[in-house]
Amino acid sequence: MSKIKKFLIGSPISSEEEQHQRLSKKIALPVFASDAISSTAYATDEILVVLLMGAGVGAAAFKPLLPIAIVVCVLLVIVVLSYRQTIMAYPSGGGAYIVSRENLGAVPALIAGSSLLVDYILTVAVSVAGGVLAIRTATGLDRSWAVPLCLICVFVMTVMNLRGVKESGAAFAGPTYFYIVMLVILIVTGFYRIFVQHVGPIPESLLSEEAIDMSRRTSSLGLFMLLRAFSSGAVALSGVEAVSNGVPAFEKPESKNASITLMWMGGILGSCFLGVSVLAVHLKPFRGEHDGNGLGLMAEYLYNGKGVMFWATMIGTFLILILAANTAYADFPRLASIVAKDGFLPRQFFNRGARLVFSNGVIFLAAVASLLIVAFNGDISKLIPLYAFGVFTGFTLSQSGMVVHHFKLKEPNWKFGAVINAIGAFMTGLIAIIVVVSKFTEGAWIPALLIPIMVISFKAIGNHYDKGRKAVQVEPGYWPRRETHTMVVLVGGINKGVLHGLQYAKSLNPDRLVAVTVASDDEDRIRIEKQWAEFKVPIELNIMHSPYRELTRPVMQFLDELDARFNDDIITVVIPEFVTSWRTQWLHNGSAFALKAKLLHRPHTAVVSVPTHMSHSSVEE
């Protein structure tokens, strides 16, 4: 296993090399911004999915598209400016969780942390599902390939991120920049053909029958469906908070480099999202539920078929959507480690792995995202409604916390910052409400229910750790009093392992030393008594009868009897064990494992294993 691990993720990295694993701005952009930038490939589509498939308004779906895109871009500017202030105020990372913890209290912080963790899990599922949809659009693969391809992509992403943030960032930087270049070329080409060559919308001959049917519907657009469409398009803002969560991963000066990267990300995201929306308004890429993504339809039309430029665009789209998950892989483990450090998640999430990444968080993220992909059949449109609520809940709490921060510290220009944050908190809070109301029956109820459950669970974990700290807290001058000591050696017959165990226990000079065996019938009892007499073992032997061939219960009963006879004893149970190679260890019944697990929870009881290592030759004999 160690060889496989080394092959997949590489040799361990020393803690002293942590500074060398920091990210430059050029590498940090694809690591932390790939999620946000990738939304340009599906955010416009998701608006149209609601208007065409949900509202059924046909050609009228494209009239509100550009206004919705503009409002989303205005909101993007507000959120980016807000998170820029967060980066400067809280350079330790953690984003909305840290801001809420410092300014709003523990419960809002846990809500923000839960929202972000759910968001990152969904980021992996949504991004991978979107990438596989893009490649299926280009190749014509049917839906049955969606889940297997998604799971393969998750596995590859997981392995790359276990190798280290810097290494995964360097590997994924090229594809991210490639997508940005291809998308800019598509937008420029589209503007040229639309505004100079005056090409019209995509003709019906290039659309599927289902898409043509969509285009001819004439339902009226109500306010409810308009709000749903807006909330779907607002997923373009997902991932904007990622930079603020990962500030410590940047090269020094961390805050300055993170701030510049955030501005780069906002500029690329806003301009490309608006550009794609303008193309969609003019080209009208109608698509049915079983068609590919709108970006692919527009690329095929603008490039006059599935030529080199079409394939380059689709490959870039596939790569950026897959690699968008890298943002979650960078931020989920880091945020989970901060929450675990505060005592609200299991301590395992706080530990760094061999490659200086929070490997337990990486593996947990991959496992849960894979379950979601299987549960929702790799369908991005089914996953999107789950996605947006957590995103905007985190935004709202982060910006509300920054408003409190400004009023507490009153730093230079704090009034302007407070206004920006207050507007952002109101807008993102409104969107969160719109999402949960308008998409409640489509799946938005899941994160709305899951986040409170997570908060309750985090509080329970925190209470457990608080009790643990209080239980082991030492007052000045405390020292444990001496207690009498009884050692119990578990025996099953006379052999080298048992004799070594008895000798080990005797060498510790306990106050009392006894042996205990469990016999299922008279034949077992007579055998052990005979062996004990033959070897003249000078230790008291206690025989417990077990007609149902149990081991654990009779031993526990014997220990209870000892407790009743000798108060305030520490009882040490000595278990002789045979240890062989990993190839043959499974041939032994392993009954000691169950007994040790039970004894672990018994007060005033210690367990000692005395191993006897068998050579290969003796095992074969």
Question: What are the domain boundaries of the chain?
Answer: 23-462, 485-620
d(CA 380, CA 132): 9
Predicted model pTM: 0.76
pLDDT the model gives residue 10: 60
pLDDT the model gives residue 619: 40
d(CA 118, CA 125): 11
d(CA 345, CA 245): 17
* Residue linked to tokens 């675990």: 340
Q: What are the φ/ψ torsions at residue 542 (nearest 5 degrees)?
A: -115, 130
Token digits of residue 186: 């598509």
d(CA 261, CA 236): 17
d(CA 235, CA 392): 9
pLDDT the model gives residue 260: 92
Task: Let me know if 548 is exposed, middle or buried by CB neighbors in 10 A (0-12, 13-18, 19+).
Answer: exposed
Token digits of residue 80: 């980016």
Question: 407: how many CB neighbours lie within 10 A of its CB?
Answer: 12
pLDDT the model gives residue 183: 93
- Name the superfamily (CATH) of residues 485-620: HUPs (3.40.50.620)
Contact assessment for residue 161 and residue 419, using Cβ atoms and an 8 Å cutoff: no
The mean pLDDT values, 10 residues at a time, for the chain of 621 residues are: 65 54 81 84 84 80 89 89 86 82 91 89 84 74 82 88 68 85 94 91 78 78 82 81 82 88 92 93 78 81 89 86 80 88 89 73 91 85 73 87 89 86 87 80 80 92 90 83 86 87 90 90 87 88 84 89 82 86 63 81 89 58 40
Of 518, 486, 492, which Cα lies nearest the Cα of 505?
486
pLDDT the model gives residue 586: 61
CATH architecture assigned to 23-462:
Up-down Bundle (1.20)
> Which residues are registered as beta bridge partners of 613?
579
d(CA 155, CA 125): 12
Question: 142: how many CB neighbours lie within 10 A of its CB?
Answer: 8
Q: Cα dihedral angle (473, 479, 483, 486), rounded to 10 degrees?
A: 60
Token digits of residue 310: 């079409």
Q: What are the φ/ψ torsions at residue 47 (nearest 5 degrees)?
A: -60, -45
Half-sphere CA count of 109, side-chain side, radius 13 A: 22
